[in-house]
Amino acid sequence: MSLLSRPQFRLISFGTWRFFLAFLVVISHLWSGMVDGPAAYAVWGFFVLSGYLMTYVLNNKYGFAPKGLLAYIQNRFLRIMPAYWVALMIGIITIFILSREGINLQLLNPQFAMPPENEWLFSFTLMPFFHNSTFPVPVANALAIEWLVYFLIPLMARHVSAAWIGALLGLFVNYHYGITPSSFTDRYSEFLPCFLPFAVGALVAHYIRHLRALSAPKLSFFVWIVHGLVWYIRDSWPWTYGLYASILLSAWVIVSMDCDKSSKTDKLLGDLSYPIYLLHTTVGGWFLTVYGYDRSFMFFAVSFAATISVSYLMIIFVDKPVLKRKRQPTIQIQNEKSVQVTETASS
């Protein structure tokens, strides 16, 4: 059954939401005064959104025949890997130059360093079964998890029962780790625990027609923001049950999104979100000599502005030429407007 729907006007669109999530990751990494928690919620929010969008496009754009699945994987590769490899080269150059100048980039992010000789396969392939500890692109671990899920999500996209099994498996694995602050790093960064938000996103896509009744654009976004401030009241919340509450709240925001309205600004914000996510730590490293290691607000503001500029150049010189090689979909969609919006959101 098609997952198409015709929602009414919403407060926020896919591109704006993705940019907002990327912004939370950046400000949490580059400003020491940022509230704890929202960066983790944002990363798993990306996972929920990916689960939703990949389920949508597989059902309504690519299909499940071999030709459609091949086009889906090729287009996912073109969307993720070329920009990542450019960010990888920039990261390697940054580490090489700044380390010779005495800049300790691991004080900005402990994972921001050249990999040991036996870990370069991970950095070049983003396959999480290769051993990894440090990366020239500090967000590579979360990106590798998403990259692997792209190969597995067609099963959840085709069968709602598989999405339920994935969600229940994710819940079991997280419960097995123990919902404590000490287990947060493993739950947040390992593949099996992280499978949960993708499965929830897939379930949202399967049940979107029914879930639209819960749409509350302003309220869902407001509650998502307020939930990010709970840390002020209970500082252990993000590292325990807050991460799981954020999955449901991110799903609620997606249900309440504007799927029929996508402006040029929204598309640009969505396009910027991925290179911003890739490059913000690397760009920030170049300003450590000016602002030091205390991650002041001015350090964040300058680094973020520079990251946006570099990200825009990546869109022009990397993303646009590469994405021209995307394969055409195999399914004809009746609602052409919905197809256009979905393509914008998932490109």
Q: Are 167 and 200 in contact (CB under 8 A)?
A: yes
Q: Would you state the pLDDT for residue 129?
A: 83
Q: What is the pLDDT of residues 33-81, one digit of tens each?
A: 999 999 999 999 999 999 999 999 999 999 999 999 999 999 999 999 9
Listed as own residue / partner, the contacts of 149-155 with beta carbons closer than 8 Å and 24 or more positions apart are 149/47, 149/50, 149/51, 149/195, 149/198, 150/54, 150/73, 150/76, 150/80, 151/73, 153/51, 153/54, 153/55, 153/58, 153/198, 153/202, 154/58, 154/64, 154/69, 154/72
Is the pLDDT assigned to residue 341 strictly greater than 50? no
Distance CA(175)–CA(172), nearest Å, equals 5
Number of Cβ atoms within 10 Å of the Cβ of 172: 13
Is the pLDDT assigned to residue 346 strictly greater than 50? no
Q: What is the pLDDT of residues 136-164, one digit of tens each?
A: 999 999 999 999 999 999 999 999 999 99
Q: Would you state the pLDDT for residue 329?
A: 75
Share of the chain above pLDDT 70, in %: 90
Task: Please calculate the CA angle 23-111-307 and round it to the nearest 5 degrees.
Answer: 30
Distance CA(320)–CA(324), nearest Å, equals 6
pTM: 0.92
Alpha helices in 101-159, H assignment, sequence order: 120-125, 140-158
Q: Would you state the pLDDT for residue 339?
A: 38
Picking from 67-71, 255-259, 314-318, 321-325, which range would have the lowest pLDDT averaged per residue? Answer: 255-259
Distance CA(262)–CA(109), nearest Å, equals 35
Rounded to an integer, the average pLDDT of 220-248 is 97
Distance between terminal CA atoms of the chain? 23
Q: What is the pLDDT of residues 162-202, one digit of tens each?
A: 999 999 999 999 999 999 999 999 999 999 999 999 999 99
Count of alpha carbons within 13 angstroms of residue 337, beta-carbon side:
9
Every domain of the chain and the residues it spans: 14-346
Q: What is the band of 9 on the pLDDT scale with cuts at 50, 70, 90?
A: very low
Nearest of 134, 122, 130 to residue 95 by alpha carbon: 134
Q: Are 200 and 51 in contact (CB under 8 A)?
A: yes
Is the pLDDT assigned to residue 271 strictly greater than 70? yes
